[in-house]
Structure 1
């Protein structure tokens, strides 16, 4: 797919998100943005192109997991 980040783990995760068909890529001035394109979805993720933080992937994955859990609770798929 496309090269969204220099961090291979972030790049692999972003490409998997795009491949699922539930996320759309929007390129802005400095960073690519992944938008969730489901009904009731309002979240977007800014992809770090050249992350300087060693925990960038862990933080990105944590934010993604938190959002998915909140979205599933909001849509009624799971009960908290």
Structure 2
């Protein structure tokens, strides 16, 4: 899976595109993250959980930061 690590709700997730429909999403990196609000099961394997960016409010999108804690612009991401 291509993507970049980001911080959302104090968790490190992978910002990537979902394989079946190319939607931008935050993919869980470990099982403890499946309880993050708006996280949903998306795959055939037990570890395939993500939050689709288009399901987030503008305020929630603004919470996504790079691993240095800086805000990122989702429009500028080349994923």
**TM-score normalised by structure 1 residue count:** 0.28
- Say which one has the larger Rg: 1
Instruction: Pick 1 or 2: higher relative contact order, CA cutoff 8 A, min separation 6.
Output: 2
Structure with the largest fraction of helix = 1
